[in-house]
Amino acid sequence: MIGSGALIVGLNAVIVAVDEDAPQLLVVPSGEGAPALPFGPFDPKTHRTFEIGLREWVSEQAQFQLGYVEQLYTFGDMGRESPLAELTGTGGARVISIGYLALTPDTSNPPEGGGVWRDWYRFFPWEDWRGGEPAVIAAVIAPALRRWADEAGSPGKREARRDRLRIAFGLDGMTWNEERVLDRYELLYEVGLVTEARRDRGDREAVPAGMGEAMASDHRRILATAISRLRAKVKYRPVVFEIMPERFTLSHLQRVTEAIVGYPLHKQNFRRALDRSGFVEGTGRMEAATGGRPAELFRFRREALREGPASGLATPRLNQG
């Protein structure tokens, strides 16, 4: 048993792919019974770098080989590892986790006993606006947040809470900002609308229906951080191509981008911006679309990264009004 006061550096991987139009997350079982991100402690004796340690843990737990990886964030809040700590043998030690974001075009199922792919919107159903505002916001989230704001002890605190919920969820005429995934999750946690909050407080009462599937430890918070990062980054770096296959149609590229940002794109404006970017070029090969005209296959011009400062993809929102 590791003694109290000890410090452990852990490694977490948020592994993302997109299967057709569903953003996929690779998860593994946990002792809590809830899905978890691949996780393991950094061993300075055997792991020359953090990333090497991460790749070894993912290979062992998820039976998956990582490709593109970038460091995400360091998570070190007191108590964040509970109750997972008891299940992983870390006991009373303080666990600092270094989170990584990994992108892959490979959505094939790992061998039996490895990880499984799950649509990330099953954990964050309020984040998927591709079909309009998710029903759970008006039915559950907004009323609960307004009650929470009204319960504040002073007019100043009530207004401060109202500002938070307006900014986070785009209420009262404010604009929905798709990058505020972590802000929204942390607000829902504070108010007690997600299972992890009630679990950590020892409250056995179930949360309202539609609030997404819980994850082990603070892994849903880590996932929220990764989604926020990825939604922002697709706009200033061409990372979306790390998820695309070698050959793809422009419609497929648009669907993948929509799956990540969580809202429908304006097709013509998206195509025009893509043409100006120089990121893609036609291959002259066609893919026969079922029930429609054949579509040309394109490839990512990776050499565009050497031709000057690279931006990301424009994500012009389709007006759903």
pLDDT at 1: 37
Query: Across residues 22-29, what is the average pLDDT?
Result: 95
CATH number of 234-306: 1.10.10.10
For residue 277 the two structure tokens come to 């970017």
pLDDT at 311: 85
Own/partner contacts of 165-171, CB < 8 Å, gap of 24 or more, are: 169/126, 169/137, 169/141, 169/142, 169/145, 171/142, 171/145
> What is the maximum span of the chain, computed from C-alpha positions, in angstroms?
66
Residues 265-319 have pLDDT tens digits of 999 999 999 999 999 999 999 987 656 678 899 999 998 888 767 688 999 999 8
Cα 238 → chain centroid: 17
Query: Across residues 61-78, what is the average pLDDT?
Result: 88
pLDDT at 307: 77
What confidence tier does 91 reach under pLDDT thresholds 50, 70, 90?
low
How many angstroms separate the CA atoms of 185 and 204, rounded? 20
Query: Across residues 62-73, what is the average pLDDT?
Result: 94
CATH 3.90.79.10 fits 7-122, yes or no: yes
How many angstroms separate the CA atoms of 280 and 261, rounded? 20
φ/ψ of residue 254, rounded to 5: -65, -45
pLDDT at 289: 63
Distance separating the N- and C-terminal Cα atoms of the chain: 58
Whether pLDDT at 114 is above 50: yes
For residue 310 the two structure tokens come to 């690279």
Query: Across residues 131-148, what is the average pLDDT?
Result: 97
Query: Across residues 113-123, what is the average pLDDT?
Result: 96
Query: Across residues 127-135, what is the average pLDDT?
Result: 97
Whether pLDDT at 85 is above 50: no
Query: Across residues 154-180, what is the average pLDDT?
Result: 96
**Domain assignments of the chain as residue spans, ordered by start:** 7-122, 131-211, 234-306
Tell me if domain 7-122 and domain 234-306 are identical in fold: no
Task: Specify the higher pLDDT residue, 21 or 142.
Answer: 142
What confidence tier does 87 reach under pLDDT thresholds 50, 70, 90?
very low
What confidence tier does 78 reach under pLDDT thresholds 50, 70, 90?
low
For residue 210 the two structure tokens come to 């539609």
